[in-house]
Amino acid sequence: MLAHYSQTVITVCVPSEGERTALSQEPDVAILVWKGETAPPPGIEATQVLLAPYMGEVFSHEAIAAMPSLRLIQLLSAGVGPWLDRVPPGVTLCNGRGVHGGSTAELAVAGLLSVLRGLPGFARDQAAGRWQERWTADLDGAEVLLLGAGDINQRVAASLAPFGARCTLVARTARDGIRSVADLPDLLPHARVVVLALPLTDATRGLVDASFLAALPDGAIVVNVARGGIVDTDALLVQTQSGRLSAFLDVTDPEPLPHDHPLWTVPSVQITPHVGGGTRGWHDRGMRLMRDQLARLRAGETLVNVITGDY
């Protein structure tokens, strides 16, 4: 917990003039602009809050050391992996949960429905001027496994329920209404859809491997809006090239996916270039989060989205 700031000016370092403008009306806030790539600006040593660049370079250890008064690093991404070893003792790290959750959930649902209803095939028919009826699957009664029980998959579950899908949230440990990863051997054989929205950690890297995929029933769909490294790409390629499984991938391993990678041409795979958070409203949501955090600091209240323990 940070100190009470109600009587103190909070010095905030932001990555661009856009963030300076967005936060300029905040009371008792001094704002510096720096992305950590050039010589530190005057006054950087007073920085107490660092707003990290979104989808930019992680600050070096030297850049962090230039801010000895630092108490909070605020990210605008849900993932925090690259920053974990940059957080000095006594500094709080918070992620951007809620900034991209809605848009990423939208893409997960859109991608799933596109695969499920065969929309690319209809698009090809349209381009050819061909009226061709096709029978497709639907979600009514489908068992959907949602790996990751955070903001994104909570939204996905709420979106799919009206279609008659039976959604099961899965997390590292079981709790009320949420199954454990240890339960996957019992759950996978019944899952028509698996949606991945969990962080990439040592525990989740390669989680979706050959045995995981082999346990899924014929015709199952894998949706990955998390990180590419959670899925064994070669194993997924085998299962999708055979036509046994389908996939919607907003993330891949490697990423960017090389132009000649065989995944591009698998008929049962749809790929988008890591655009789950790529909507025009993300910056406004990020600034709302930042203003809320600053208000909490001034009031001495608990911060949101604090990263603790075994991430």
What's the CA angle centered on 110, arms 231 and 119, to 5 degrees?
100
Q: Could you tell me the two tokens for 205?
A: 């890297």
In this structure, are residues 266 and 238 in contact, taking their beta carbons and an 8 Å threshold? no
Instruction: Name the β-bridge partners of 50.
Output: 13, 73
Half-sphere exposure (Cβ direction) of 8: Cα atoms closer than 13 Å:
15
In this structure, are residues 157 and 167 in contact, taking their beta carbons and an 8 Å threshold? yes
274 is catalytic: yes
In this structure, are residues 32 and 47 in contact, taking their beta carbons and an 8 Å threshold? yes
In this structure, are residues 48 and 70 in contact, taking their beta carbons and an 8 Å threshold? yes
* Residue labelled with tokens 């709302």: 288
**Cα–Cα distances in Å, from 130 out to 125, 127, 134, 135, 137?**
5, 8, 12, 16, 21
- Of the listed 71, 100, 274, 298, which one is catalytic? 274
- Of the listed 86, 179, 227, 285, which one is catalytic? 227
Long-range residue pairs from 203-211, CB within 8 A, at least 24 positions apart, any chain: 203/172, 204/230, 205/229, 205/230, 206/230, 206/231, 206/232, 207/147, 207/181, 207/231, 208/232, 208/235, 208/236, 209/235, 210/235, 210/238
In this structure, are residues 169 and 153 in contact, taking their beta carbons and an 8 Å threshold? yes
20 is catalytic: no
Quickly count: other Cβ atoms within 10 Å of residue 187's Cβ: 18
The 3-state DSSP class for residue 249 equals strand
Q: Could you tell me the two tokens for 113?
A: 């429905």
Active site residues: 227, 274
